[in-house]
Structure 1
């Protein structure tokens, strides 16, 4: 089976409520399925129980189960599809998320589940780990994972929450300058930059850009615009 993956840039869009903008994407991605196996490991300043409860409160039409609450998380990942569950990975700190996936030996089970067609939804950090590595995350490395290598659902890089705004008087690097640093060292690896409220869908072998705002592709010394509904299969090679 082919992957069935939704990669949301963010949990919020503008001033909307938590996950409000994501509902349309979730319903379209999941069809009639309403069971979610939630991975809260990106949470640092919130307990994983509270994080799971927050998602459940935001998605009252769904049955949300925390992966951390399972006696055997590896088995829970392997059995998600048979149990009618989609795997959902929330945002927070990408380094903490990947660290916990490695320490609990969940990276390979997740790759296998995604490859077998288990629906997957991520936002922010949960989308970051769908790229080749987490080297283009916006997060601070508060903990060191065993590797920066991620799930590699896509062979390129992702940058959720993309925004190149610079406040007046700010003298630090812009987002574009930071992404360009990666491109200088990795000139052949594209970065798909996704503004808040937008997403990528990878289903039935097709990678598609979703949302009302333009996205961007950084590769080498170029920055190209992604139009809404664009098919991006050229970045699957």
Structure 2
């Protein structure tokens, strides 16, 4: 049974790393003593060690040990033997490139689909979708494939922002960009606002958190889905 949280962000404004999510994280990793952290997205060029330490500090409050995947000589074996996983945010292009080039994307998918709990935030949530084509990140590197784990039958747009009617910015809104995607693609997209997440328990997929989610389907007007609602796109 899949046991997954895909969150828009790791940190709400003015709060500590993961603090808003910790009650849910505690339930997700119930009875788990140790997890693997996947630091490949490296926000701001942060080192793998420093990024892993951030995660370890947060998880220490739950009594859970954290090991960085980058420290294993055989990362595929480490994933197969792990109790659970956390993939942090940063640049999705970099994260996807590393996972594909190391041959780990499918291995991680298999492990999560075998009931090992998975937490993703931002880029780490993006890779839970069918592909990474709705990321907001700049293409600082070129992945060999945009395909991601497909843990859920849709794509995510983490850090979703609503149009600001008072803004003088003339660039495209997030909604416009997703509609551009739907000119060429049928895949549903869930816009996750800050403080929101997707919860997967077996075959049940729900929206959770403090904000509504914005749902985009090809050829239809986007609509709002309140927290606690089942995601079935009907």
TM-score category of the 2 structures, normalised to the smaller one: over 0.9
Aligned to 1:192: 190
The residue number in structure 2 matching 1:202 is: 200
Aligned to 2:136: 138
What is the TM-score normalised by the length of structure 1? Answer: 0.92
User: What is residue 58 of structure 2 aligned with on the other side?
Assistant: 58
Q: 2:73 aligns with which of 71, 74, 82?
A: 71
Q: Which runs of 5+ in 1 are unaligned?
A: none
Q: Matched residue of 2:222: which SS?
A: strand
TM-score by length of 2: 0.94
CA separation of 1:209 and 1:79: change in aligned 2, threshold 3 A:
same
| Contact residue 4 and residue 120 of structure 1 kept, 8 A | yes
Report the counterpart of residue 209 of structure 2 in structure 1: 211
Q: Is the 8 A contact 1:130 1:153 kept in 2?
A: yes
Q: Which runs of 5+ in 2 are unaligned?
A: none
Q: Deviations over 1:84-125 (max 9, x none)?
A: x21111100000000000111101111110111111110000
* Number of residue equivalences: 229
Distance 2:156 2:46 in 1: 24
Q: Give distance in 2, aligned partners of 1:70 and 1:127.
A: 23
What displacement does 1:234 show?
Answer: 4.2
Q: Following TM superposition, by how much is the alpha carbon of 1:174 offset from its aligned partner in structure 2, in angstroms?
A: 0.7
Q: How far apart are the structure 1 equivalents of 2:30 and 2:136?
A: 31
Instruction: Report the CA distance between 1:28 and its aligned residue.
Output: 2.0
Partner of 2:14: 15
State how far apart, in whole Å, the 2-side matches of 1:4 and 1:207 are.
10
**Tell me, what secondary structure is at the counterpart of 1:91?**
coil
1:1-237 matches, cutoff 5 A? 2-43=1-42, 45-60=45-60, 61=62, 62-80=64-82, 85-166=83-164, 168-186=167-185, 188-220=186-218, 221-234=220-233
Runs of 4 or more, structure 1, over 4 Å off, are: none
Q: Give me the CA root mean square deviation.
A: 1.4
Q: Secondary structure at the match of 2:98?
A: helix
Q: Aligned equivalents of 1:30 and 1:192: distance in 2? A: 25
